[in-house]
Chain A
């Protein structure tokens, strides 16, 4: 039986391989949230729970997570970014139970998750809803609409996770939007908020399993490109694909589990 750490390690390598073989980017943002997705799916979520990936550009991390749970096969991953494929660059709609919504345009996921959370309540069903947003995504006004709604409706079964890697499309969140600490902007809503190292799997598990009624916010401090030195905290790895040498180096750096 593999430990979660071993599974994550193997998945990280598989993620790099998938991106390398497909020749596509978005690796940095995938590596920043992979630990979160893995902990959530392997340790936290049960069959009644749902997950919404609001930062749809991290589709690769979601596909790899589903692969690690044997919900996707190697043959599926080979089609990432190819054609015809269901594994498009951002999650596609209506083909996989675990992918409740197609996302990719930012600022939709938290509202969708609120709808799911409200449905559970109206239908008297059990289950929690988890939603992962990026940090740059909080420049979308619709996220604030969602936060107002979720707080006011007291959606106790809803958990918002923010992948705070501090980098966005064309600069840091501070440079682009004066967004030094998102936490300070979220605090006035009066919801339970926890801060966690987004790469510390035990801390993540503890924060995500917190039984306190929500809506709860987990701000995960992460590193874009985590685990590959030449990618870490580098904005260009939002976009770049891996060259042969880089792929080799990255795998070497990750080493054995």
Chain B
């Protein structure tokens, strides 16, 4: 999604309120933006705390800064700057984290972002955007710019097959229908689930819902999702994020508060490093049970 992101930024680079900061990352990816934005492309160096506060200062004067790094370096290292300087002041600063979840694979745990949106969503005014597909990035960027609030854009790698058509971007989107459980999925793993679930017979095929914006806006939870849930009585949430602060908790809370508690709840999520060994994104997903195969097995569809 980095290329789609770069392209979306290039499209906005001539906006009068555009300014882009990078923590010395984006080599062999952001050069077109550097060229398009000129003085408004700033390499802030390996100094993320400063970069986020500078972004807050820029936003306080009417600019709409984007601050980019590898995901953990944009939400964890400068967390206090995000909390105090951006969120407390409700400023339109967008943190862009490349490599959500285990995307950096064997680069190791320091480069993973498995608790990013849970941490960030505990801060005031923060909204999180998790594009599931490459084509989601540009509309997510548009929605961020329209929101005028602090935002976090979590980027990953598009996993959907070329033929698959998830339809246009929306905070909630149904990408597969069947008589199986209601599955809500966050992030690019949606593309893999689409691929693996599409060929299942109708009786076993889940109703697959892709969720791209958090926190859960209770007003925008689609009636059809609730209907799917009521029919099957089984809620399944899939996300490459720890359980704490994740979409599973948010959806569960919403359902409990609104008197719609499902009979069954399965949560497939990141669980850290169970074996102590490191590997690809796929290795870590497998270790956490974040695979189509395991989801089907646990939910009794296999």
Contact = CB atoms under 8 A, between A and B. Distances in A.
B198 interface: no
Contacts of A149: 44-45, 47, 50, 54
B45 A152 contact: yes
Given A122-B40, A149-B50, A112 B85 contact: yes
Nearest to B89: A93
A105 interface: yes
Nearest to A100: B60
B57 A118 contact: yes
Nearest to B16: A123
Contact of B54 (A103, A105, A111, A123): A111
B60 A118 contact: no
A145 B40 contact: no
A120 B61 contact: yes
Contacts of B47: 142, 145, 148-149
A123 B50 contact: no
Interface residues of A, number: 30
A94 B63 contact: no
A111 B84 contact: no
A72 interface: no
Interface in B160-216: none
B63 A123 contact: yes
A215 to B, nearest CB: 13
Contact of A118 (B52, B54, B84): B54
A141 interface: yes
A57 interface: no
A123 B15 CA distance: 12
Contact of B50 (A103, A104, A117, A146): A146
A111 B40 contact: no
A27 B268 CA distance: 54
A10 B145 CA distance: 48
B60 to A, nearest CB: 6
A142 B39 contact: no
Given A108-B84, A111-B53, A116 B60 contact: yes
Contact of A148 (B45, B53, B61, B81): B45
Contacts of B39: 122
Contacts of A111: 49-50, 52-54, 57, 81, 85
Contact of B63 (A105, A119, A142): A119
A120 to B, nearest CB: 7
Contacts of B40: 122
Contacts of A94: 89-90
A41 to B, nearest CB: 19
Contacts of B89: 93-94, 101-102
B61 A119 contact: yes
A111 B55 CA distance: 9
B61 A101 contact: no
A93 B88 contact: yes
A119 B45 CA distance: 18
B96 interface: no
Contacts of A168: none
A227 interface: no
A86 to B, nearest CB: 14
B293 interface: no
Contact of B55 (A115, A141, A145): A115
B60 A108 contact: no
Given A94-B90, A101-B85, A108-B81, A118 B58 contact: yes
The winner among A94, A108, A112, A119 for most chain B CB atoms within 10 A is A112
B21 to A, nearest CB: 9
A102 B19 CA distance: 23
Interface of B: 19, 39-40, 42, 44-45, 47, 49-50, 52-63, 80-81, 84-85, 88-90
22 contacts: A93-B88, A94-B90, A100-B60, A101-B85, A102-B89, A104-B84, A105-B84, A107-B49, A111-B49, A111-B50, A111-B54, A111-B85, A112-B53, A115-B53, A115-B60, A118-B58, A122-B39, A141-B49, A145-B50, A149-B45, A149-B50, A152-B45
Interface of A: 93-94, 100-105, 107-108, 111-120, 122-123, 141-142, 145-146, 148-149, 152-153
Nearest 5 A/B pairs, CB to CB: A115-B57, A111-B53, A145-B50, A119-B61, A145-B47
